[in-house]
Structure 1
Amino acid sequence: MAMRREPHVLVVGGSDSSGGAGIARDIETISAVGVRTCLAVTALTVQTHDAVIEIHHSPPSMVANQMCAALQANDVATIKIGMLATAKIIVAVAAVLRKFPQVPAVLDPVLASTSGRALLEAGAIAAMKRDLMPLCCIVTPNLPELALLTGSEPASDED
């Protein structure tokens, strides 16, 4: 019962079998600052540090059910959202956020792997911008993701 009262971060994202990114890295980072995590897995990937070999998307209802179960079982202080993979998963995640508006959400949009493989299906950016971003208090894209989200040219440098 003590675990239920400790603050948690609900991590919503995909796996990375190499451990270089995704939920494995999120758990490690959040744990390093002394906070517990709970999970909703959006996709399973087979990847190395150099390439994404295979991606299996979770059913949207499974993602939503994992989120609801974690939110009901724990004192979730915030939700950290990473890889969402499909427009249908984005819509399902947004629906859960609307059910739990008191829990702030951070969106770290994962659009492609470091090796360049798309991790969000074509056309899903519109759903992310329309359905999910307005429900998040912070959005943390990197520069290439920012260009894709805004439909602008990639920045030539950080300025």
Structure 2
Amino acid sequence: MTQSRTIPNALTIAGSDPSGGAGIQADLKTFSALGVYGTSVITALTAQNTRGVSGVHPIPSGFIDTQLATLLDDVTIDAVKIGMVASRDVAETIRASLERCRPRWIVLDPVMVAKSGDVLVDDAGIAAVRDLLVPLADVVTPNLPEAAVLLDRLTPHSRTAMEALAAPLRDLGAGATLLKGGHLPGRECPDLLITAGDAIWLEGSRVDTANLHGTGCTLSSAIAARLAHGDALPDAVTTAKAWLEAALTASSRLDVGQGQGPVHHFHAWW
């Protein structure tokens, strides 16, 4: 008799981070911490540490396609998290693969703007993410600068301005959008969950820490993990947000690098 599978499988499609705080490494740590078996397809190799990125080596789209085809031919994937996609070829490859073997949930973290404010993706890459991957996603998780880039607008600096983006973000075609308010001034850190019929504020407190490396990667993969477990979308987002806040609070227990350190993915275990 075949034993039923009780631990869900998740897939991260993203670049690597040798320092372990962001990208593929952060996603796999998050999956493991939240009780999900993690798989990965690497889109780029990077040379980076807690102080910055010194080099990027993109993986050819043909080999990304081979990675995806080989994995999806064998492993049942319950949720996918997509990270930074820097070219149209890669976006087309990812979309075609996921359309052939559609998982229940797709979470897109549109990594396009560095914390310094620098735009990381050229106009063609931005258009590819917006036109090809956003409509494919069940939930997209932009921060305020990334939402501004997607919509070709100014970055919002208030809750009212965030709410004004709800309709144009819906028009991009994703099932839902989690508009992250971490760039707003003040002690609060509110996010706005925009669905087809509603916009819900999710409150949060700003954690006083410099260890912010990989927070976007970690939150999106936490949402994917909770969705893989069967949570409804609002519950998955709420649980992931609370878990990340705890990981930020515990980040001072780590001593990683001389720059912006990572969150503590295993704060509940170590």
Q: Do they superpose with TM above 0.5?
A: yes
Task: In structure 2, give the amino acid aligned to 1:92.
Answer: T
Query: Would the alpha carbon gap of residues 11 and 127 (structure 1) be closer, same or farther in structure 2, given more than 3 Å must change?
Result: same
Q: What's the secondary structure of 2:114's corresponding residue?
A: coil
**Aligned position for 1:57:** 58
Equivalent position of 2:39 in the other structure: 38
Task: Give the secondary structure class of the aligned counterpart of 1:61.
Answer: helix
Query: What amino acid maps onto 2:98 in structure 1?
Result: L
Deviations 1:44-77 (A, max 9, x none): 0111222210001011111122122222221210
Q: Aligned partners of 2:63, 2:116: CA distance in 1, in Å?
A: 28
TM normalised by structure 1 equals 0.89
2:156 and 2:48 mapped to 1: Cα distance? 28
- CA change 1:138–1:109 in 2 (3 A) is same
Aligned-residue Cα RMSD (Å) equals: 2.1
Q: Which residue of 2 aligns with 1:153?
A: 154
Contact kept? 1:6, 1:75, Cα under 8 Å: no
- Divergent runs of 4+, >4 A: 115-118
Aligned residue-pair number: 158
Maintained 8 Å contact 2:7/2:35: no
Flag structure 2 segments of 5+ consecutive residues without an equivalent.
Answer: 161-270
CA displacement at 1:120 relative to structure 2: 2.7
Does structure 2 conserve the Cα–Cα contact (< 8 Å) formed by 1:108 and 1:141? yes
Query: Is the alpha carbon distance of 1:46 and 1:157 closer, same or farther for their aligned partners in structure 2, counting shifts above 3 Å?
Result: farther
Which amino acid in the other structure matches residue 86 of structure 2? A
Cα deviation digits, residues 83-123 of structure 1 (max 9, x gap): 11211101110111111234421101111333455443442
Secondary structure in structure 1 of the residue aligned to 2:73: helix
User: Deviation at 1:124?
Assistant: 0.9
Q: Secondary structure at the match of 1:97?
A: helix
Aligned in 2, Cα 1:23/1:16: closer, same or farther, shift over 3 Å?
same
Moved more, 107-116 or 92-101: 107-116
- Structure 1 window deviating more from structure 2 (66-75 vs 118-127): it is 118-127
Structure 1, residues 9-45: CA drift from partner, whole Å, max 9, x if none? 1100001122221011111111111101111100001
| 1:113 aligned onto 2:131 | no
**Maintained 8 Å contact 1:50/1:115:** no
Q: Which runs of 5 or more residues in structure 1 are unaligned?
A: none
Q: Is the 8 A contact 1:52 1:115 kept in 2?
A: no
The answer to whether the 8 Å contact 2:84/2:110 transfers is yes
2:134 aligned residue: 133
Amino acid at match of 1:62: F
Distance 1:112 1:53 in 2: 16
**Separation in 2 of the partners of 1:99 and 1:51?**
36
Distance 1:115 1:23 in 2: 21
The alpha-carbon distance between structure 1 residues 102 and 13, as it changes in their structure 2 partners (threshold 3 A), is closer
| Range with bigger deviation, 53-62 or 103-112 | 103-112
- Is 1:68 the equivalent of 2:69? yes
Q: Is the 8 A contact 1:83 1:119 kept in 2?
A: no
SS at match of 2:81: strand
Report the residue type matching 1:140 in the other structure. T
Aligned to 1:26: 27
Q: 1:53 to 1:113 in 2, by over 3 A?
A: same
